[in-house]
Structure 1
Amino acid sequence: MKDRCLTDEEITAYIDGVVSPEERARIEAHLAKCGFCLHTVAELKQLVTSNETSPVAPTEVALSQAEAVILENTDSPTHFDIALVIRDGICKILDSTGDLLPPRRLSPAAVRRQRSPQTITRISKSLSGFLVTVELKPERKAVKPEVIIVEESTSERPDGLKAKLYSPGACETKYSEQGRISFSPLSSGYYRIEIEEIGTIGLEIKGS
């Protein structure tokens, strides 16, 4: 059975300590290989302890475990990670397991329509026989991700592929149109994009 992410109920029960030893072992085994769920648990622990006399922030151990998970995924044929920072309306890539592409060239007419310069960063990686490109367009203090999917053997852009963007406590579902999938702008945080039958993309966004 394919491993799945933890539900809000499972995470809450785990933090509250009301799960069985077997369930705790299963959850901790999942956290050891899923940076998204690990960060969700760390953030929720911080919220739970915020009203105590001595608030406890997420431990350095938890954060180092999350970094280790990202490093372990570096050579995965179905996953790649992107870490970026948004500063002064510019998107700067801090690290990625994909390949950074040249900026997309805009036509003169498109350039004239823009009120201010806009930076679009493009990163690509081959996943499950598809070339997956992520375009990251800054929008004020957020970034809007768009995924472009091209089948490598035929150069076709598939329609109707389901993609889900997971963020703490939310999930946005979209379908590809001519190989493109656009998501809502994202602010600072950890996100995961799952594309059916292709793979996953991890996004770590930091603010200025």
Structure 2
Amino acid sequence: MRDMSFQRARTDEQRNERRRQILAAAAAMLTEMPVAELTLTALSRRVCLAKANVLRYFESREAVLLALLEAEIADWIAELESTTFPGGGTVRERGDRLADLLATSLVRRPALCDLISAQSTVLEHNISAETALQHKRAVHGYLEALVRFAGTHLPELGDEDTAALMRTVMLVAVAAWPASRPPQAVLDAYAADPALAVMCVDFTDVVRRAVEVTASGLLARGR
């Protein structure tokens, strides 16, 4: 593809705006296709740039998706922090409310879940050490924000156990998301043999239950 309209961004503001345009295009594409199908060629066509010019702003397709993952996590945290969360109740009741909030807010963000599930197996490949360092620092900061958020609702856990709880949430989401979206052949197998339906994974239920059980277990061990 020849990029006839490309004009190099020369100021930091112009470069940041070009990066935002690329990320916005990638985000829009993830409403239409899974991460695995989003290619650099398709993305460059969407933003009307040659691949070489997209690579002026991101070193690879994976770097684009990592930056998008960071933006999605930031938006999710902002949503959590703005949610009115009922106070009071027993520790278990507050833990169950937190579990429901985390599970239902995640399932409403399919792009975030898709990106998280591909993070270690796909997105963290084909990137430089510098990009990996920047990404891991960003994710560490987001984890700290999630720990602070959860800690305001379950202060009994303490910082260490709250961090363990949130790491568990993310690991469960990584596994449960693709498992909850099987290919058509597997869906057909479930339909053909109703006894196999017990193998179906409900993402929201799995994440909710994981938070409930993990929080209860950590609280019990801390007594």
Superposition TM-score, scaled by structure 1 size:
0.26
More strand by share: 1
More helix by share: 2
Which of 1 and 2 has higher RCO (CA within 8 Å, sep 6+)?
Answer: 2
Instruction: State the structure with more CA Rg.
Output: 2
